[in-house]
């Protein structure tokens, strides 16, 4: 099956700094991507999504960038706060599998006050 991987398993940032979490995907047919945040003891929470016809999408303090040439996805968090500490993982959906998603293992983000 397809694999979605993250470059770094852990990331520590100072409060107030910007965070960048990266994700690589292997299937150029993937056309829909999602970033999730998972806090301890909770299920994954939707953050932001992007379709393959876009390169960038912004939300509240978050931006997702999609580079289809190198099959790379990133999540940027502006002015990182302690409440942003969590595991973040990306998911890709392959159009030829309907709504079946493939997930990465996640990056653990720790915000240092």
Partner 1 sequence: ETGVTQTPRHLVMGMTNKKSLKCEQHLGHNAMYWYKQSAKKPLELMFVYSLEERVENNSVPSRFSPECPNSSHLFLHLHTLQPEDSALYLCASSRQGVDSPLHFGNGTRLTVT
- Report how far residue 23's alpha carbon sits from residue 25's, in angstroms, rounded to the nearest whole number: 7
* CB 74, CB 22: distance < 8 Å: yes
Contacting residue, 7, 8, 15, 51, with partner 1 by CB under 8 A: 51
Pairing of strands 107-112, 10-14: parallel
**Of 22, 24, 32, 72, which one interacts with partner 1 (CB under 8 A)?**
32
Integer-rounded Cα radius of gyration of the chain: 13
CB of 44 to partner 1, least distance (A): 5
Q: Restricting to residues 54-73, which ones interact with partner 1 according to CB under 8 A? A: none
The answer to whether 4 contacts partner 1 (rule: CB under 8 A) is yes
Binding track, positions 71-110, relative to partner 1; x by CB under 8 A = ------------------x-x-x----xxxxxxxx-----
Q: Are 72 and 55 in contact (CB under 8 A)?
A: no
């Amino acid at each position: 099956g397809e694999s979605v991987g993250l470059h770094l398993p852990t990331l520590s940032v100072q409060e107030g700094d910007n965070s960048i979490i990266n994700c690589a995907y292997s299937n150029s047919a993937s056309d829909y991507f999602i970033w999730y945040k998972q806090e301890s003891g909770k299920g994954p929470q939707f953050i932001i999504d992007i379709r393959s016809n876009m390169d960038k999408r912004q939300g509240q303090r978050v931006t997702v960038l999609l580079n289809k040439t190198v099959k790379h996805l990133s999540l940027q968090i502006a002015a990182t706060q302690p409440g942003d500490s969590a595991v973040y993982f990306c998911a890709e959906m392959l159009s030829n599998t309907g709504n079946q998603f493939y997930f990465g293992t996640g990056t653990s983000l720790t915000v240092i006050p």
